[in-house]
Each structure stands twice: as structure tokens, then as C-alpha cells.
């Protein structure tokens, strides 16, 4: 009994309760339900850009624009991370594991006065974010899901992953980031969806 | 391959909620490539966030429609930036 109490107290006092030990219900934002599968939503044909024609660039308000080929991108230091994801169509999926390059690594301390970023993609999709929502360890350019190369249906070869916001901000088939002084609504943000998209504040639609 | 791709007739009901005409027989001109076609011949993607009607020639998004409850009020958002024109026949 003493050891049980001791474990309880040590865990409580150190505050190290890990996400997977939390009750699942604490991890589901308001209005969401859990799924086991990984739904695919299509707003257009699935792009299939060959890796030898793929590149990723950072352009716009930056002192020196950046560009990587696929080979150069895969040489960058990457991280494996596990996060919950939340789609505005109300499904959430817990403990999804990805591998990707942090947006901090891509920016690499570049000089910019930009406050916003627009992600642009094969197929013409765009989404807009404040720069501070994709820096500080909050966003990645992900190239693997569940230990496998990211499938085209899920945005492969690489997608943005910004798991603390609704998943439409995690642009599939992303090819670059445009650093901007002003904010410009993207594909869904210009069709009545919320500009920020925080699932914990249930920011689904403009006006929420 | 794209299981959510439907033909243009699939959007007739949704457009019929907005326009008082039979819209699948309306003619569109693509603002991207200039191709003209009936709405019923375009490609429709029924995404969970909205319905996207794309040009069958170049995949440009012709019409984008979202129907949701922003601010607690049911509303339609209609974006026609991708069409140069829509020609709609009056009902006879
Ligand atoms: Zn076209």
C-alpha cells in the first residue's frame, strides 16, 4: 500500500502524467468524436508529383529565399513525434505518429519581418497561418506516417503538419511557404471557415 | 482512384437550393483555360468541408460551395472566381 501511495504521489507531484495516460475523453475537443481509421477527404484530384521533380521552397518576405530538392530535404535533421489530430468535419484521431522536419529547422533562423505564412501546394490548395503558429516546435513538414512513407492520399510525399489546429491547416502536398507581411485567407478560410482554427476553442467557422 | 469524384449532376441538388433554375444544364466557361461545358459535365468533389466543382479540362476550381453553421446560422458560401461566366437557361 505504501508503494502504491508513493507511486501516486510521485507521479502527481512531478506532474509528468503523459498524454496517453490521460482519459481519452480529456483529449477530445468539444464537438469531436474519435475514429480508429484515417478518413481521406478530397477537394480535387490527388497530385502525384515524382520525387525527382519535387522541391520545397520558402519565399516571400525573407532575406534569401530557400529551396530544397527531395534529396536535400531528406538530409535535414528530422524528428519522430506522436500527436492527436482533429478534423473540422468532427473526427479526431489519437496518438498518430509522424516523421518530419520541424518548420524551425527549415526557417533556420532566417531574417524575416513577416507575421504570416501561406502554405502553397500541388493542386492549388493554400492555407494561411500566423508565423508564430508554425514556429517554436509546433509544426513540421512530415514525410512519413506510422513508420511508412506518406501516401499520396494523406498528402505525400510531404505535408505540413500543425496538429494543434484543425487539420485543414496541415496542408497536403505542400510545396512551399510564402512569408507575408499581411494575412491572406486560404482555400477554406475564404469559404467561411475560421481564420485560426483552434479545435479547443471550437473555431470552425468565421464568427465562431 | 479519387473515390470522392462525382460527375457534375451530383451538384444539381445543392445548386438547386441556391438558384431557382436547373443548374446542371447551365453552361460554364473556365476562368483558367477558357473551356466551356455544361455544369453537369464538370467534375465534382464532395469534400466534407464543401463541394468543389472542377473544370474537366484543367482541374481549375470553377465553383466552390460550403454549407455550414457559422455564427450559429445556417449559411451558404458560394465562390465563383473560377468561372468566366455562367449561362443559365430560363425555365420554359
Ligand atoms: Zn479549365
On whether any CB of chain A is under 8 Å from the CB of B2, the answer is yes
Residue A11: per-residue pLDDT:
39
Strand pairing report for A91-102 and A33-34: parallel
Cβ–Cβ of A41/B61 closer than 8 Å? no
Please tell me the total count of domains within chain A.
1
Instruction: Give CA–CA dist A155/A121, Å, rounded.
Output: 10
Which is it for the CA torsion A146, A151, A155, A159, positive or negative? positive
Residue tagged 496518438 (cell numbers)? A95
CB contact under 8 A, A191 and B66: yes
Q: For the whole model, what pTM was predicted? A: 0.90
Within a domain: residue A207?
no
Tell me which residue range forms the domain holding A98: 31-201
Report the separation in Å between the CA atom of B46 and the middle of ligand 1, taken as the mean of its atom positions: 19
- Report yes or no on A78 lying in a domain: yes
Q: Which residues of A169-200 are buried (b: 16+ CB within 10 A; e: fewer)?
A: bbbbbbbbbbbbeeeebbbbbbbbbbeebbbe
Q: Is the complex ipTM more than 0.95? A: no
The whole-chain average pLDDT of chain B stands at 91
Nearest CA in chain A to B63: A191
pLDDT tens digits for range B34-55: 999 999 999 999 999 999 999 9
- Give the alpha-carbon dihedral of B28, B31, B36, B40, to 10 degrees: -40
* Mean pLDDT computed over every residue of chain A: 91
B4: its cell numbers: 470522392
State the CATH number of the domain containing residue A140. Answer: 3.90.420.10
> Would you say residue A26 lies in a domain?
no
Question: Is the CA virtual torsion B57, B60, B63, B68 positive or negative?
Answer: positive
Q: Each residue of B72-92: pLDDT tens digit?
A: 789 999 999 999 999 999 976
Interface contacts (A, B; CB < 8 Å): 66
pLDDT digits (tens, 9 = 90+) for A156-183: 999 999 999 999 999 999 999 999 999 9
Q: How near does any CA of chain A get to the CA of B10, in Å? A: 14
Instruction: Answer yes or no: is A6 within a domain.
Output: no
* Chain A residue nearest residue B69, CA to CA: A205
Set of cell numbers at residue A168: 485543414
Is A3 a domain residue?
no
**Average pLDDT of span A64-73:** 97
Residue A127 placed within a domain = yes
* Whole-number Cα distances in Å, A193 to A22, A126, A147, B36: 30, 13, 32, 30
A10 occurs within a structural domain: no
Amino acid at each position: 500500500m505504501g508503494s502504491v501511495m508513493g507511486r501516486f504521489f510521485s507521479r502527481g507531484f512531478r506532474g509528468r502524467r503523459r498524454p496517453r495516460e490521460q482519459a481519452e475523453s480529456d483529449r477530445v475537443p468539444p464537438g469531436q468524436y474519435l475514429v480508429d481509421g484515417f478518413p481521406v477527404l478530397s477537394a480535387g484530384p490527388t497530385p502525384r508529383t515524382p520525387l525527382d521533380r519535387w522541391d520545397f521552397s520558402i519565399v516571400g518576405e525573407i532575406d534569401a529565399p530557400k529551396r530544397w530538392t527531395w534529396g536535400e530535404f531528406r538530409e535535414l535533421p528530422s524528428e519522430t513525434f506522436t500527436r492527436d489530430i482533429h478534423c473540422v468535419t468532427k473526427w479526431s484521431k489519437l496518438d498518430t505518429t509522424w516523421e518530419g522536419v520541424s518548420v524551425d529547422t527549415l526557417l533556420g533562423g532566417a531574417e524575416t519581418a513577416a507575421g504570416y505564412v501561406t502554405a502553397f501546394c500541388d493542386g492549388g490548395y493554400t492555407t494561411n497561418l500566423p508565423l508564430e503558429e508554425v514556429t517554436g516546435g509546433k509544426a513540421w513538414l512530415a514525410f512519413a506516417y506510422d513508420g511508412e512513407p506518406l501516401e499520396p492520399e494523406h498528402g505525400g510525399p510531404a505535408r505540413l503538419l500543425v496538429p494543434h489546429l484543425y487539420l485543414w491547416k496541415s496542408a497536403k502536398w505542400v510545396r512551399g511557404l510564402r512569408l507575408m507581411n499581411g494575412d491572406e485567407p486560404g482555400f477554406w478560410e475564404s469559404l467561411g471557415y475560421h481564420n485560426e482554427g483552434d479545435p479547443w476553442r471550437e473555431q470552425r467557422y468565421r464568427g465562431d | 482512384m479519387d473515390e470522392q469524384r462525382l460527375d457534375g449532376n451530383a451538384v444539381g441538388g445543392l445548386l438547386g437550393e441556391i438558384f431557382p433554375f436547373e443548374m446542371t444544364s447551365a453552361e460554364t466557361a473556365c476562368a483558367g483555360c477558357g473551356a466551356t461545358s455544361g455544369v453537369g459535365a464538370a467534375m465534382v468533389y464532395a469534400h466534407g468541408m464543401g463541394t468543389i466543382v472542377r473544370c474537366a479540362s484543367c482541374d481549375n476550381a470553377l465553383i466552390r460551395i460550403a454549407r455550414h453553421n457559422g455564427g450559429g446560422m445556417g449559411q451558404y458560401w458560394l465562390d465563383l472566381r473560377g468561372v468566366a461566366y455562367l449561362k443559365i437557361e430560363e425555365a420554359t
